[in-house]
């Protein structure tokens, strides 16, 4: 993959990250009934990166981010078998979404750290603005 293709690829992953990061808050703010789409998009993006760009995804797969995902899955399996609780899918999606966001963030940061810093600052600023709007309008 040449430099221009890699840049376009990382931009696409950045857009997926932005959607996964901001859409749950936007769905609450706009009272949309499908806030779980952020989880589905991030999960499919990580799956796509793993299947289509396996060589580029391997360093991320063997990073501490995977440990976080394994711990989250362990806790949900523990809830089912040892505690006897049923899995609340909303809670499951809400707890697993940060894992996939971490995967996407680590992927971008590994290949272009400057782009990662720029995009993550934009995302956090947007998240803060949307959170303040949600708080002011009483959506929280």
Per-residue pLDDT, averaged over 18-39, amounts to 86
Q: Which of 72, 45, 41 has its CA nearest to residue 57? A: 45
Handedness of CA 120, 126, 128, 130 (dihedral sign): negative
Q: Using DSSP, state whether 1 is helix, strand or coil.
A: coil
For residue 93, what are its two tokens? 């999606």
Residue 99 neighbours by CB under 8 Å, 6+ apart: 65, 68, 69, 72
- Both tokens assigned to 12: 């696409």
pTM of the model: 0.85
Asked if the model's pLDDT at residue 13 lies above 90, the reply is yes
Max CA distance (Å), the chain: 51
Structure tokens at 83: 């505690």
User: Mean pLDDT of all residues in the chain?
Assistant: 88
Mean pLDDT of 11-39: 88
Distance CA 22, CA 101 (A): 11
- Residue of 95, 51, 87 whose CA lies nearest to 69: 95
Each residue's pLDDT tens digit, 80-127: 777 766 777 777 888 888 889 999 999 999 999 999 999 999 999 999
41 contacts 23 by C-beta, under 8 angstroms = yes
10 Å CB burial of residue 128 (0-12, 13-18, 19+) is exposed
- The Cα-based distances of 70 to 23, 39, 65, 96 in angstroms read 25, 17, 9, 10
């Amino acid at each position: 993959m040449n430099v221009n293709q890699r840049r376009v690829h990382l931009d696409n992953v950045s857009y997926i990250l932005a959607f996964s990061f901001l859409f749950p808050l936007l769905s609450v703010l706009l009272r949309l009934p499908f806030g779980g789409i952020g989880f589905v998009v991030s999960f499919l993006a990580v799956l796509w990166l793993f299947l289509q760009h396996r060589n580029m995804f391997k360093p991320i797969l063997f990073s501490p981010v995977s440990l976080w995902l394994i711990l989250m899955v362990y806790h949900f399996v523990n809830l089912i078998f040892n505690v006897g609780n049923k899995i609340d899918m909303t809670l499951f999606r809400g707890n697993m979404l940060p894992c996939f966001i971490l995967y996407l963030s680590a992927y971008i940061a590994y290949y272009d750290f400057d782009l990662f810093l720029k995009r993550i600052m934009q995302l956090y600023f947007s998240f803060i603005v949307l959170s303040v709007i949600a708080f002011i309008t009483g959506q929280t």
